[in-house]
Amino acid sequence: MTRQFETAPTSSPNIQKAILSLIPTTSDRAFKILDAGCGKGSLARALSFPGNEIICSDIMNNLDPVCRFEFRQADFNKKLPFQDGYFDIIVCSEVIEHLENPRHVLREFKRIAKPGGYILISMPNILHFVGRIYFLLKGNLYGFSQKQYDSNGHISPFSINEMKRMCGELNLKIETFKYNGIGKGTVIFKIRK
């Protein structure tokens, strides 16, 4: 059973800004974009350049009432309700660590991305400097203690190397990744199908 939480988490403005810096820019076309794990929709609003088609998706609809985007309910641990090869860009910010099977959602993102499309994923960097000290002192990965498990559902920690391995298994190409946040506690991947 998938766990649901009372409040819709949202990525920080710094993470959103870093994600936006990785979005391909072009003047001759608009993009079909999925905000996977949209929360309240703040990232979707930032992605809504003229002409872009934005679809928001999450386990439950917590979109801010000012958001006028199409919403589709989805459990990212199951098959996603989108046709093959539909999206130019899929953005999944601070979600993958909440899923029981991150490999499954990556396979699903590959399925619904257009050939040559982009998948942008941000996740906690479990090996950042502060996290390593925390592990030495507490014996838990930073952000993945029992308290975080119970309060915000951080259940799937994995490293940058594990993300590289998963992408390799699926023939997805990591074009770049960047660190973000205090102590570089977040890593953002730009992946190409």
**Residue 63: domain span:** 13-126+158-192
Q: How many domains does the chain have?
A: 1
Residues of the chain with pLDDT under 70: 1-11, 26-27, 181-184
- What CATH number is given to the structural domain containing 28? 3.40.50.150
Dihedral sign for Cα atoms in the order 54, 154, 64, 83: positive
Enter the pTM of the model: 0.88
Residue appearing with tokens 């992605």: 47
Residue 33 lies in a domain: yes
pLDDT reported for residue 3: 40
Residue 83 lies in a domain: yes
Residue 147 lies in a domain: no
Residue 134 lies in a domain: no
Residue 133 lies in a domain: no
Give the C-alpha separation, 114 to 77, whole Å: 21
pLDDT reported for residue 40: 94
pLDDT reported for residue 14: 84
Residue appearing with tokens 């872009």: 52
